[in-house]
């Protein structure tokens, strides 16, 4: 056997349940014993794979980072070939996460980011990496949109805005127990994008003015996730 296998089935089950519980109740509020019970594992097994609770947290975050591509980004790209539509397909992914969980689960990394702050430096570095990968991909789409957005537009800044809207929208949805605040924030972002697109289309002033006021939300139809990595047996939401 390979030493300290990274692919142990028990290890995966522990990570999956820990991820779910950290997501639902937070890191501090989740007891090791609960994870053990839900995963059907004894404490010795857990401590065989993870030296302590913090190492388990690191493992969970590494798992989130590994799952970002197949479960979040690729489905968004599969939903549309249009780079701007991909942005809103991505936001639709999180909307689904809210809906299937009754507004109790949004972005799993966002929760931990606010709870842990800088008290676990290794964890913070991973969360930062996660956000960087997220905004980096969005930035790539915005660059790909090319002449459909104003040339001078700062794509990096806009990608940071998109992430902020997602995380802030999820937070409001959790507090409200409803997706409405999330939808409102996303709809307004959509309106902003339409406005930017109108510019790039070099429309006359009157058409631009009309676009500035609009704020309706066009639902994005779901597409089959475009899986490239082997994610069989992995659950995310």
Partner DNA sequence: ATTGTGATTGATTGATCAATCAAGCCCACC
Partner DNA sequence: GGTGGGCTTGATTGATCAATCAATCACAAT
Catalogue the E-assigned strands of 66-139.
none
* Of residues 172, 234, 34, 28, the one with CA closest to residue 112: 28
Please identify, using beta-carbon distances, which residue of 41 and 149 lies nearer to DNA: 41
Three-class secondary structure of residue 189 per DSSP: helix
Shortest separation between residue 53's beta carbon and DNA, angstroms: 3
Q: In angstroms, rounded to a whole number, what is the distance separating the alpha carbons of residues 204 and 44?
A: 70
Residue 79 Cα to chain centre, angstroms: 16
Q: Which does 228 bind (CB under 5 to 8 A by kind): a second copy, DNA, none?
A: none
Among DNA, a second copy, none, the one that 223 touches (CB under a kind-dependent 5 to 8 A) is: none
51 binds, among a second copy, DNA, none (CB under 5 to 8 A by kind): DNA
SS3 94: helix
Instruction: Closer to a second copy by CB, 171 or 223: give it.
Output: 171
Assigned token pair, 37: 């019970």
Q: Scan residues 29-58 and list those touching a second copy (CB under 8 A).
A: 29
Interface residues toward DNA, by CB under 7 A: 1, 3-5, 8-10, 30-34, 41-45, 47-49, 51-54
Question: Considering beta carbons, is residue 188 or 231 the nearer one to a second copy?
Answer: 188
Nearest distance from C-beta of residue 136 to a second copy, angstroms: 12
Partner whose binding site includes residue 91, from a second copy, DNA, none (CB under 5 to 8 Å by kind): none
Q: Which of 39, 110, 142, 236 binds a second copy (CB under 8 A)?
A: 110
Q: Does 212 bind a second copy (CB under 8 A)?
A: yes
| DSSP letters for 134-187 | HHHHHHHHHHHTGGGS-TT--HHHHHHHHHHHHHHHHHHHHHHTSSHHHHHHHH
- CA–CA gap between residue 156 and residue 58 (Å, rounded): 27
Residue of 153, 222, 226, 229 interacting with a second copy (CB under 8 A): 153
């Amino acid at each position: 056997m390979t030493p300290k296998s990274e692919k142990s089935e028990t290890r995966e089950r522990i990570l999956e349940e820990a991820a779910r519980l950290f997501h639902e109740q937070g890191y501090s509020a989740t007891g090791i014993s609960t994870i053990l019970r839900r995963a059907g594992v004894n404490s010795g097994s857990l401590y065989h794979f993870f030296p302590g609770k913090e190492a388990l947290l690191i493992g969970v975050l590494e798992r989130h980072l590994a799952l970002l591509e197949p479960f979040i980004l690729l489905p968004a790209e599969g939903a549309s070939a249009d780079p701007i539509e991909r942005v809103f397909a991505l936001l639709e992914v999180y909307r689904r996460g809210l809906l299937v969980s009754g507004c109790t689960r949004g972005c799993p990394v966002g929760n931990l980011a606010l709870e842990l702050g800088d008290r676990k430096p290794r964890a913070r570095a991973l969360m930062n990496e996660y956000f960087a990968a997220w905004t980096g991909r969005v930035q790539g789409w915005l660059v790909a949109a090319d002449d459909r957005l104003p040339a001078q537009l700062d794509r990096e800044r806009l990608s940071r805005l998109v992430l902020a809207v997602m995380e802030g929208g999820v937070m409001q949805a959790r507090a409200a127990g409803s997706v409405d605040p999330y939808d409102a924030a996303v709809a307004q972002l959509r309106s902003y994008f339409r406005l930017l697109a109108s510019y790039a289309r070099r429309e006359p002033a009157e058409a631009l003015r009309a676009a500035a006021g609009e704020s309706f939300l066009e639902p994005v139809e779901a597409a089959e996730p475009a899986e490239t990595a082997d994610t069989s047996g992995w659950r995310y939401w």
